């Protein structure tokens, strides 16, 4: 399946929602530190409902540790400044869908990392800054999974 990676997430309910997402799709969630909350946060637990035991989640100290854990994966970085649309990619199992922290998105040094295969964007109406992190991850994950005819569902 696919990897969903949150780089330095800040809002616990978004991560809780992502836990539900990976439990429902079979994707693997990677949380890349430092995290802006404790994993025992009540809002994270509440948003994840009873899906925590059904989800595959790994916490990494930082980006280098995460990238070492997925050495052969293609890494697609989601950013509002990209020109390639997320629907223009032919996703492969094992691909990484990388998202940045809620208020700022991915930093330029992350986007410039040589492991980043491409930068992707989700079209939005003019004047809109961004989508909610967990919503964006769900949109991307379901597009990647759709391209594989929802294998395993």
Is 134 annotated to bind ligand?
no
Domain tally, the chain = 1
Q: Give domain status of residue 68, yes or no.
A: yes
- Helix-helix angle 12-25:133-146, to 10 degrees: 10
- For residue range 36-75, what is the model confidence (pLDDT) as tens digits? 988 876 766 665 557 778 899 999 999 999 999 999 999 9
Cis peptide before 34 (omega within 30 of 0): yes
Q: Give domain status of residue 152, yes or no.
A: no
pLDDT at 91: 98
- For residue range 76-97, what is the model confidence (pLDDT) as tens digits? 999 999 999 999 999 999 999 9
Instruction: Name the residue range of residue 97's domain.
Output: 3-146
For residue 93, the domain's CATH number is 3.40.1280.10
Q: Give domain status of residue 153, yes or no.
A: no
pTM listed for this prediction: 0.94
Is 130 annotated to bind ligand?
yes
Q: What is the dihedral of CA 7, 12, 16, 17, to 10 degrees?
A: -80
- For residue range 112-125, what is the model confidence (pLDDT) as tens digits? 999 999 999 999 99
Mean pLDDT score, 131-153? 96
């Amino acid at each position: 399946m696919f990897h969903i990676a949150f780089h330095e997430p800040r809002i616990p309910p978004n991560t809780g929602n992502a836990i539900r997402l990976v439990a429902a799709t079979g994707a693997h969630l990677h949380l890349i530190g430092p995290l802006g909350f404790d994993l025992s946060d009540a809002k994270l637990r509440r948003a994840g409902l009873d899906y925590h035991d059904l989800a595959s989640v790994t916490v990494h100290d930082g980006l280098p540790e995460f990238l070492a854990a997925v050495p052969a994966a293609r890494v697609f970085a989601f950013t509002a400044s990209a020109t390639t649309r997320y629907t223009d990619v032919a996703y492969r199992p094992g691909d990484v869908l990388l998202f940045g922290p809620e208020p700022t998105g991915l930093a330029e040094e992350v986007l410039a990392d040589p492991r980043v295969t491409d930068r992707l964007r989700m079209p939005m109406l003019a004047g809109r800054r961004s989508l909610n992190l967990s919503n964006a991850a769900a949109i991307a994950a379901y597009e990647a999974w759709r391209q594989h005819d929802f294998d395993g569902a």
